[in-house]
Amino acid sequence: MPRREEAVTAHGGRDGAGAPGRLDRDRGAWHRLARRSATNSSSKAPPCPRRPPPGTVSHMSGATSPSYRERNSTADRALDILLMFTDAQLVVSGSAVAERLGVARSTAYRYLQSLVSSRFLEEAPGGGFRLGLRVMEIARLARRSYGLSEIALPAMTALAADVHETVLLTRRTGELVVCVDLAEAGTRAVRISYERGSTLPLNAGASALVLLAWLPEEQARQLLESADLHQFTSATLTNVDILMQRLDHIRRAGYSVTRGELDPEVLGIAAPVRDERQQVIAAVSIAALASRVFPEAEAEFARKVRETAQEISSRMISVTG
């Protein structure tokens, strides 16, 4: 059966005479050659380099400062490069980076090129490297992460310490006004009937009226007409037409003053906080016992509240703008 014998021979078996097939002979020669090559290679191969003990520095990478013996990850060095930038140093050179990190200049350039490829750095027109667009993107995201309370609280705390009264920060949510945050003076702070997160009505209190006053007139009227306007004290306004007249007066004055309209004997003075589009987004107010605030002091309080609202607005614009 010649076809079968040929097939066996082709697969490395024996030929019809019982002698080794050609492929068997070739395969044996190949194995002998491979063994000789492996022997020669192993005799000439250099020993495997040993990892240096912890705390030692390879001389091939340049002299490394002791601080990098424990902080030598790529992330650490990338951060240290970014921290080299200051108001006085807007561009850094490769040699300055190498000196700062205590590495060879070639190593420093590898770090720099990695930062350039990820857009954290870019090559400066006059040479060296400057901060890249990715840093600006991250800064924008960081600014957006700041909440209104974080931005407003320093100014509110300063106002509370100045006037020795409670200062509130409020925002409107639909038909309700929410107390976002407050700052209390160490002494003489009036005990108010709401805390952080509590809700206030639309028709009572200086803050609520300020938040309504700069809305489009039709929107403000619709909110008041659809809300359940409670009578909290004898001074509380519940008539929509009278409230609309009050809002017009507040817009012209630039702030709101209420006496005992939400809490008996409590004076409220509020001013609007605006965003970069000059839209009113919050109100800052003083809550004080009316008996403690004389007419001349009321005007001074109003001035300080407006200045504080303007300061918060400016900070909002600088952070989110």
pLDDT one-digit tens code per residue, 239-274: 999 999 999 999 999 999 999 998 888 999 999 999
pLDDT value of residue 307: 97
pLDDT value of residue 118: 94
**56, two tokens:** 């030692």
Task: Give pLDDT tens digits for 152-175.
Answer: 999 999 999 999 899 999 999 888
State how far the alpha carbon of 173 is from the alpha carbons of 147, 176, 197, 255, in Å: 16, 5, 12, 20
Structure confidence at residue 62 as a pLDDT band (50, 70, 90): very low
Bridge partners (DSSP) of residue 272 are: 283
pLDDT at 51 over 50: no
User: What is the rounded CA–CA span in Å between residue 176 and residue 173?
Assistant: 5
Average pLDDT over residues 218-226: 95
Contacts of 244 (CB under 8 A, 6+ apart): 217, 220, 221, 224
Q: Which of 144, 176, 177 is nearest to 284 (CA)?
A: 177
Average pLDDT over residues 174-201: 77
Contacts of 251 (CB under 8 A, 6+ apart): 213, 214
pLDDT value of residue 10: 37
What 230-236 contacts at long range (C-beta under 8 Å, 24+ apart), as own/partner pairs, is 230/201, 230/203, 230/204, 232/201, 232/204, 232/261, 232/262, 232/263, 233/260, 233/261, 233/262, 233/263, 233/264, 234/260, 235/259, 235/260, 235/261, 236/203, 236/204, 236/261, 236/262
pLDDT at 28 over 80: no
Contact between 188 and 165 under an 8 Å Cβ cutoff? The reply is yes
pLDDT at 30 over 90: no
pTM exceeds 0.95 for this model: no
| DSSP character string of 43-91 | HHPPPPPPPPPTT---GGG----GGGGTS--HHHHHHHHHTT-BTTBS-
